[in-house]
Amino acid sequence: MARITLDRLAHSYLANPAGDEDFALKQIDYDWQDGGAYALLGPSGCGKTTLLNIISGLLIPSAGHIRFDDTDVTTLSPEARNIAQVFQFPVIYDTMSVAENLAFPLRNRGIDKPEIERRVTDMLATLDLSDKANRKARGLTADEKQKISLGRGLVRYDVNAILFDEPLTVIDPHMKWQLRTKLKELHEQFEHTMIYVTHDQTEALTFADKVVVMYDGEVVQIGTPEELFDEPAHTFVGYFIGSPGMNILPAEVSGSTVSVGGGQFGLSRRYEPLSGNIEAGIRPEFVGVASARAPDDGRTRLPLTVNRVENIGRHQIVRGTVAGHDIDAVVPEGAEIPGEAVAVFDPSRINVYRDSHLVRGS
């Protein structure tokens, strides 16, 4: 187990990258704490698999260094780095039995027989595969195969980190949940550093202590699920995390007042005069829908045109427009949507963005 340090790391698949846009992974500096559970989240093609392959050693970065504790491993091969990786599609050795699959990495490392046997037996029990120990691995279901791929990493007690590259892609939905729970359990039990790549926010937010959000080769925010929800550092994070994503509206800020959608809201923080493209972000969860005829309660009300209401079970999503801008609101199940509606914002939940980046007031 180890702390993993990324030191001015960057990668381009081109031999002579000219500008920023040639880099699949733009410069990143970060420390992954020993024993942490991290998720790398982002849309396809954002560079998350590139970053993962650099950490595992399948790819040598074009710039910067990577260290495990204090050892520079930038040019070391995957086998020398002592890491484990679980791939998108389950990789199993077809002709071996389940137990032989789990013993394989240990045998390759010349560990003695009784020790291998003990560890494999333990791991079979941990993965709930004891009754299939002597079955050939090829006949198993996708989730069982994926458990074996994971188990081959876990039997090596001393691995520095376990990396997951969208490991639940081919798993049935009801098994996904079980496997995710299992992963969480294993993380608590073994305390390995785990890095989990996914484009599914539910997977990322349930699995990880810290989520690294990537966009276009760049890390845009690293934070706990709460931080990503409450204070997205970039409008992309606001939009990408949450269902539906954050409402982003053009705005003007002066002091502690923000004008958005034709109304003014008092903010809890003060802002210096801002230049550039200023936007306000508010999550649909903090947008209320009220009747225009209701008595004035002193809150700022913005006339809302309701275009569509989607009932998704425990709550409804109202899709509408305020002053010509699309806006989503989440309202409780069964709440009546008035014909003449107004949108009500919770001012304490409004974030201010300049050129897509969060501005924290004082």
Partner 1 sequence: MATDNRPFDNRAWFFVLPVFLLVALSAIIPLMTVVNYSVQDTFGNNEFFWVGTEWYQDVLNSSRFRDALVRNLIFSGIILLIEIPLGICIALCMPRKGIWVPVCLILMALPLLIPWNVVGTIWQVFGRADIGLLGYTLAAMGVDYNYATNAFDAWVTIIVMDVWHWTSLVVLLCYSGLVAIPEAYYQAARIDGASKWKVFRYIQLPKMQRVLLIAVLLRFMDSFMIYTEPFVLTGGGPGNSTTFLSIDLVKTAIGQFDVGPAAAMSIIYFLIILLLSWVFYTVMTNFGVDSDDRGRAEG
For the record, the structure tokens of 242 come out as 């949450």
Considering only the stretches 136-144, 277-285, 312-320, 327-335, report the one whose residues sit in contact with partner 1 under the rule CB under 8 A: 136-144
The smaller minimum CB distance to partner 1, of residues 138 and 270, is found at 138
**Contact yes or no for 180/207 (Cβ under 8 A):** yes
Is residue 57 left, alpha or beta, with left meaning phi > 0 and alpha meaning psi from -120 to 50?
left
- Which of 275, 230, 246, 262 lies closest to 343 in space, CA to CA? 262
User: 200: number of CA atoms within 13 Å, CB side?
Assistant: 14
Verify binding: residue 199, partner 1, rule CB under 8 A.
Answer: no
Among 142, 323, 337, 358, binds partner 1 (CB under 8 A): 142
Q: Total number of residues binding partner 1 (CB under 8 A)?
A: 28
Among 74, 88, 121, 178, binds partner 1 (CB under 8 A): 88
Entry field: residues in the chain: 362
- The only residue of 28, 37, 54, 84 in contact with partner 1, by rule CB under 8 A: 84
Work out how close the CB of 100 gets to partner 1 at its nearest, in angstroms, rounded to a whole number. Answer: 9
The correct pick among 34, 35, 58, 349 for binding partner 1 (CB under 8 A) is 58
- Segment contacting partner 1 (CB under 8 A): 67-75, 94-102, 114-122, 233-241? 94-102
The CA-atom distances, in angstroms, between 291 and each of 80, 243, 247, 342 are 65, 24, 21, 6
Contact yes or no for 92/148 (Cβ under 8 A): yes
Nearest Cα residue to 161 out of 72, 70, 69, 99: 69
* Residue with Cβ nearer partner 1 (11 or 301): 11
- Nearer to partner 1 by Cβ, of 14 and 80: the residue is 80
Residues that bind partner 1 (CB under 8 A): 56, 58, 77-79, 83-85, 87-89, 91, 93-96, 104-105, 108-109, 135-136, 138-139, 142, 149, 152-153
